[in-house]
Structure formats: structure tokens, C-alpha cells
Amino acid sequence: MKDKINIMFLGDIVGKAGREAVRRYITSINSNKPDFIIANVENASHGFGLTQKNYNELLSYGIDCFTSGNHIWDKREIFQYINDADRLIRPINYPKGTLGVGYRIIEKEDVKIGVINVLGRTFMGLIESPWTMLEEAIKEIKKETPIIIIDVHAEASAEKICIGKYYAKQGVSGVFGTHTHVQTADERIYENCCAYITDVGFCGDKNGVIGMDYEISVKRLISAIPERLDVAASGESQVNGVLISVDTISGKAETIKRINKEINIKEENSIMKG
């Protein structure tokens, strides 16, 4: 077993622009590919939810585990395949009996990695307490591995920071915020063990509004009349995420580095900056 592993966490993948950017980015780093890749996919299918076709497509890119959020239910076919999708996680704090699972332990190259997905409660609707559900999941995962990654899908930065600090004291390896699609510059190591960032950002069209079409987005704000959002498609995308190094014996994160790449998906041989 390796002494250390590199884990990459990619922010919310938004539509085709996000899927293609991620495919090209992973291909470009193939010679130096991380040991384990996690990605949030609740917006991967035209900005809303995840189809089974896109789930299989993203699996083929070499992503090892998929987290999600409140939009995971937007494509109704999710109810038909979520129980069979053994790399997909939905937020753990939905009511008992909800389809799917809130955490998984995935083994790769003799190393087990526990991944938990949780929803925040501030501005996020009626759901169960994340605190109680996380306590139980962490206790179960630690029976098998010290490496635990938490995707906190939440609106409020303060809530994410509190979760990060609190569970760092319990020795988790990483707490990464998702949902806002805006990458923050506060990456750090809490308690000498837990890699943290308030929001990892998103993967998708960089010229839209958090991945969605600008014209429609601004029209909705000016008119106050609801109009269905559409995914932006300028051909210029971005890939946001973090890369961390974790000690496999202790489960302690030792480094964290933000990923912020621009990828031109209009061309066959994409141009990557940053």
C-alpha cells in the first residue's frame, strides 16, 4: 500500500461544456493522474440532474466517485438507476427511505477512501440535520479507513466553515464546499489533518453565469419573470477543483492546491491555460 495518495476533487460539472472540459483536462494529466478522483455531478446533464448515459460517460473518464446535491433528482430517470450506480452518492441527510446512499467506501490499489455527501440547511430547504448524520457516517467509515472526504453542498459560507472546523477536530481528511459554483481562495489545512476550501468552484462554460446562459440569467433578474435557464455554450470552459495529498496510515491531509484551468473546447486540440 502507498504511504501517500493524491486525491482530486472537481467542482460541480455543468452540462456538456463541463463534461467535455473535464474529459480533456483528465486526458491532459494522464501521465500524472491523481490516485483517486471525485467530482460533483448534480448539474452534469444540461445543468439539471444526471442521466444514466452521462453517469456512464463520466465513469469512462476515470472518475472514481460522484457526489451530488439538491439537483440530483431533477432528471426523473435517476429514480430508476440510482440504487445500481455504485459510484454515485446523494446527500446523506435526506429522510430515511430515500433512494441511493449518502456515503461510500471505495477501495483502489489497496487503499480505502470514504466519501460522504451532505446538504447544508441554510437557504437549502427542509432536510435532516447534517450534524447527526455526519457523526454516524464518520463513525462507521473509521471502522475501515482513516481517509474520509466530505462534500458539503451548501449555500452559506459560514455553515461550510463551521462544518470544516468541527469535523477537522474529528480527524477527517478533507471538507470541500460545493453548490455556489464560485471558487474561493481560502484553501487551508485545519488541525494539521483536514484539507478545506469553502467552495471548489465549477466545471463548465466560463463566460456564462455560474455555467448558465448570461442573456437568460440577466433577463430573469431584470424582468422578475421566471424563465427556464439554459447551459452556456461559448466554447470556452473552465475546470475548478482541488488536489490534496493524504497520508494513508493516519488519514491526515498534508497539502491542498487549488485547480483553476481554462480550456478551449471549440478546438479538437484544446488550448489550456493557467
User: What are the φ and ψ backbone dihedral angles of 150, each rounded to 5 degrees?
Assistant: -120, 125
CB 204 within 8 A of CB 245: no
How many whole angstroms separate alpha carbon 167 and alpha carbon 138? 9
| Beta-ladder partners of 111 | 108
Other CB atoms within a 10 A radius of the CB of residue 13 amount to: 30
Contacting residues for 2 by C-beta, under 8 A, at least 6 apart? 35, 109, 110, 111, 248
Contact partners, residue 76, CB within 8 Å, separation at least 6: none
- Residue found by looking up cell 455560474 in the block: 210
71 is catalytic: yes
Catalytic residue among 46, 71, 179, 181: 71
Q: E-assigned strands of 133-250?
A: 148-153, 174-178, 188-190, 194-197, 202-205, 236-247
CA distance 197 to 175: 7
CA distances from 163 to 16, 24, 80, 153, 219 (A): 32, 33, 32, 11, 36
Q: At what angle do helices 52-60 and 15-28 cross, to 10 degrees?
A: 20
- Catalytic residue set: 71
